[in-house]
Structure formats: structure tokens, C-alpha cells
Amino acid sequence: MDQQKAPPLIEFRKVCKTYHMGDTVVRAADHIDLSIYEGEFVAIVGKSGSGKSTCMNIIGCLDVPTSGDYLLAGRNVGEMNKNELAEFRNEKLGFIFQQYNLLPKLSVLDNVAVPLMYAGKNRRERREIALHALDSVGLADKTRNLPSQLSGGQQQRVSIARALANNPSVILADEPTGALDSRTGREVLDLLRSLHAAGNTVVLITHDNSIAATAERVIRLEDGRVTFDGPADSPASGVHKEEVVGQ
């Protein structure tokens, strides 16, 4: 319970994001309030078009809300300029994308070192940290390979190593298993779980209830609104029920 007393790491206050498509207004995020605390493992679930990527972009400081406030580590992201946003992304966030998004011409090691370069670390530090991160995802023997020489699961592990490298406050994973078969997907989820167990804050975005069930806490979105926010094992979370229905 004392965890709840500390200020939240991620805090949405009536966050709205609207897109204007001609005459119609799309509310991709509609007065969302939520708080995520340090060390939590949260899954944001919802059907396609429910606003998951919109939330993820805002949490990831890639986009700013149309109205409302987003606070990350106590700072109001809406008031930051582009440079500060870039710095914040570099320091506070580790991204894991569905399509891995590795740089194809760089070696695995160099890929992991990219955020460290933008953090101003020198060559030696970069190498050391990147090697360590790759070791922790079990890819210490692939450092000199190009991403194209790895399997999908291995590539996703590289991208996890990259997300970890700069020791971020939040690890943000958008459909991390979307491009993987169920077995390698499991491995990636296990890796995320172990990161959480090691004390990292993990936010997992998915449309798949069975994947959301991996998390401690589930936030369900529908049409840009939060319709459920609570423990994953609560019956109202819906994540287990649909899994059963799905099978």
C-alpha cells in the first residue's frame, strides 16, 4: 500500500486526443484519467481503433494531448519543447515495437547502442552497456550480426535489449508479440515478466486478452475511454473470460 502513496510515474489527467477528419471529429482519447506507479506491470487492452496506440504515443512522448495533462516522472510533458521531449524519450522510455524497428544497416551491438549515443555516452561505455544488455536477453553471441541475420524472436529480444540499455523509467511495448509465433511470443512475454520482476515498470499494449493476462493490472479502452482498470485476475477485467471464449 505504501507504493500508492508515492507520486505516480505516469499520470493522465483528463487526457483528450482528437483528430479532425473533414467534418467528423474522432476522439481517439476521451478524458482518460489513469495513474501508473513505479514497478507496475500494466496491460492496456482494447479492440482495434479503441485508442491504444494514441495512449502509447502520448505515454511515449511521441505525441502530446489535445487537452488535459500528461505527467511523466512528475513533469508535465505538454509543456515541453521538442528538444526536451527527445531528451525525455531518451532518458525515461524504452520502446519495444511490434515490427522490432531495428536499424537494418547497423550490427546488433550498434543497434542497442543507439539510445546510448544520443545519451552522450562515449564509445567504450556504449559497448560495455550494450554488451551487458544483450547478455541479459541471451544474445551475447550475436553482437556482430546484422538484424536481418536473426530470427524474429531474436530481433525482438535485440529491441528489448535496446529498450533496456539506457536504464529507462518505463518500458513501453506495443504489440511486442504481434509478429511472432505463439512460442517465441511466450518467450518475449516471459522476458518482459522477468524485467518486471527485476523492478522495471512495464506498460504492455495489446489487443489480445490472453497476452494482457500476463500483466498484473489491466486497463481496458473502448472508443477512447477507460472501461476497466483493475487487477488482471479480477473477473471484471474480462481477459480470462474472452480467452476461454476464444478457445
Partner 1 sequence: MKISESFVLALQNIRASKARAFLTMLGIIIGITAVMVIVGIGNGMEGYMRSMFQGLGTNTLTITMTGSGSSRELSVDDIQAIVDKNSSLFTALSPTVSMRGTVKVGSESLSSTSTTGVGEQYTTIKGYDLEQGRNINYVDIVARNRVCVVGNYIDDIWFSGRSVGQTLRIAGDKFTIVGVLDQQEDEMDEGGSDDMLLIPYSTAARLSGQGKPSSYTVMLADEDQTDFASDLLEQELYELLRSENAYRVSSMSAVLDTMTEMIGVVITVLAVIAGISLVVGGVGIMNIMLVSVTERTREIGIRKALGAKERYILSQFVIEAAVISALGGIIGIVMGFGLSSVATVAISTLLEVEMAVTPTIQSILIAFGGSAAIGIVFGYLPARKAALLNPIDALRYD
Catalog residues that contact partner 1 under the rule CB under 8 A: 57, 60, 62-63, 82-83, 86-87, 89-91, 95, 97, 101-103, 105-106, 114-115, 117-120, 162, 166
C-alpha cell at 240: 480470462
**Cα–Cα distance, 240 to 211 (Å, whole number):** 10
* Beta-strand relationship, 10-21 and 24-36: antiparallel
Q: Is 46 in the site for ligand ATP (CB under 6 A)?
A: yes
**Cα–Cα distance, 68 to 16 (Å, whole number):** 6
CA-nearest of 152, 179, 174, 149 to 163 is 174
127 binds, among ligand ATP, Mg ion, partner 1, none (CB under 5 to 8 A by kind): none
Sheet containing strand 201-206, edge to edge, reads 93-96, 170-174, 201-206, 41-46, 217-222, 225-231
Residue 180: CB minimum distance to partner 1, A:
19
24 binds, among partner 1, ligand ATP, Mg ion, none (CB under 5 to 8 A by kind): none
Whose Cβ is closer to ligand ATP: residue 32's or residue 130's?
32
Residue 226: CB minimum distance to ligand ATP, A:
13
Q: Is 207 in the site for ligand ATP (CB under 6 A)?
A: yes
120 binds, among partner 1, ligand ATP, Mg ion, none (CB under 5 to 8 A by kind): partner 1
71 binds, among Mg ion, partner 1, ligand ATP, none (CB under 5 to 8 A by kind): none
Interface residue list for Mg ion (CB under 5 A): 53
46 binds, among ligand ATP, partner 1, Mg ion, none (CB under 5 to 8 A by kind): ligand ATP
Strands, E, within the chain: which ranges?
10-21, 24-36, 41-46, 67-72, 75-76, 93-96, 170-174, 201-206, 217-222, 225-231
**Cα–Cα distance, 216 to 93 (Å, whole number):** 20
Which residues bind to ligand ATP, rule: CB under 6 A?
19, 21, 26, 28, 46, 48-54, 207
